[in-house]
C-alpha cells in the first residue's frame, strides 16, 4: 500500500469535484476558466528547474555572483528575473567537499515555484518529509547518493516563507564548458539536495 496506488477518493471523483469547484468559483467571480488555463500553462511551461539551473551555472562561472548569491540570494536570484509567488525570499546554501545540503518542508511542501517549478511528488508526499529530518543519509541512499563519511549534512526545514536553493558542487571535467552547457547538468533534484550535479 502506498500513496501512489491508493487514494481516499477515486481519481475520477476528485476530478469531478475539482471541476465543480472551479465552475462555482467562476460563477462567484473568484476565478475564470481562461485564467486557470493560463496559470496551469505557466506552471507547466514557463517555470521549472531550468531557471534554477541558470542561477547555479552562473554561480559556478562567476565568483562575484556566487558571493552575492550566498550573501543575498533574494537579490541575486531576482537579478536573473526569477521572482514570483513562492519565490519571494531566498537563502542559497552551497555544497562543498565537506558539506552537503538538503531541503525539506515537513509541514507542507513549500518550494520555490518560479525558480524550480512545481515540486516533484517525492517532495510533497509524507515519506520524504518524515524522514529527511531524522535519517537524511538513509534518504539520500534511496536516491542513489552515497556521501563520504566525512561529509556533514545540513538539512533545511522550510517552515516559514524563506525558500532554499542548493548550489551543488561543480562536477569534475567541466572546465571550459559554457554557462548553457553547465546548466544542463543541474537537475531539480540537485538543487534540493537529493542528487549531485550530473557528470558531463
Establish whether 158 is a catalytic residue: no
Alpha-carbon distance of 87 to 42, in angstroms, equals 15
Closest CB to other proteins among residues 133, 179: 133
What 3-state class would DSSP assign to 66?
Answer: helix
Instruction: Please identify which of the residues 105, 158, 178, 199 carries the catalytic annotation.
Output: 105
Distance of closest approach, residue 172 Cβ to other proteins, in angstroms: 21
Alpha-carbon distance of 120 to 52, in angstroms, equals 15
Neighbours of 153 (CB within 10 A): 15
Q: Which three three-digit cell numbers place residue 164?
A: 532554499
Closest CB to other proteins among residues 69, 189: 189
Establish whether 178 is a catalytic residue: no
What 3-state class would DSSP assign to 96?
Answer: strand
Establish whether 187 is a catalytic residue: no
Q: Is the CA virtual torsion 50, 53, 58, 61 positive or negative?
A: negative
Establish whether 108 is a catalytic residue: yes
Instruction: Please identify which of the residues 7, 108, 159, 178 carries the catalytic annotation.
Output: 108
Distance of closest approach, residue 181 Cβ to other proteins, in angstroms: 19
Distance of closest approach, residue 183 Cβ to other proteins, in angstroms: 15
Residues assigned a catalytic role: 105, 108-110
Amino acid at each position: 500500500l502506498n500513496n501512489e496506488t491508493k487514494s481516499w477518493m477515486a481519481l475520477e471523483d476528485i476530478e469531478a469535484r475539482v471541476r465543480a469547484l472551479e465552475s462555482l468559483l467562476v460563477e462567484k467571480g473568484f476565478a475564470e476558466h481562461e485564467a486557470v488555463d493560463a496559470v496551469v500553462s505557466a506552471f507547466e511551461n514557463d517555470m521549472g528547474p531550468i531557471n534554477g539551473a541558470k542561477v547555479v551555472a552562473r554561480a559556478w562561472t562567476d565568483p562575484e555572483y556566487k558571493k552575492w548569491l550566498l550573501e543575498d540570494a533574494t537579490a541575486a536570484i531576482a537579478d536573473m528575473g526569477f521572482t514570483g509567488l513562492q519565490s519571494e525570499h531566498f537563502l542559497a546554501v552551497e555544497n562543498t567537499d565537506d558539506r552537503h545540503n538538503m531541503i525539506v518542508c515537513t509541514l507542507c511542501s513549500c518550494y520555490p515555484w518560479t525558480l524550480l517549478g512545481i515540486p516533484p511528488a517525492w517532495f510533497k508526499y509524507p515519506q520524504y518529509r518524515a524522514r529527511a529530518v531524522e535519517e537524511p543519509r538513509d534518504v539520500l541512499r534511496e536516491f542513489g547518493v552515497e556521501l563520504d563519511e566525512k561529509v556533514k549534512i545540513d538539512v533545511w526545514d522550510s517552515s516559514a516563507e524563506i525558500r532554499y536553493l542548493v548550489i551543488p558542487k561543480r562536477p569534475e571535467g567541466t572546465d571550459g564548458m559554457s554557462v548553457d552547457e553547465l546548466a544542463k547538468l543541474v537537475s531539480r533534484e540537485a538543487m534540493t539536495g537529493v542528487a549531485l550535479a550530473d557528470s558531463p
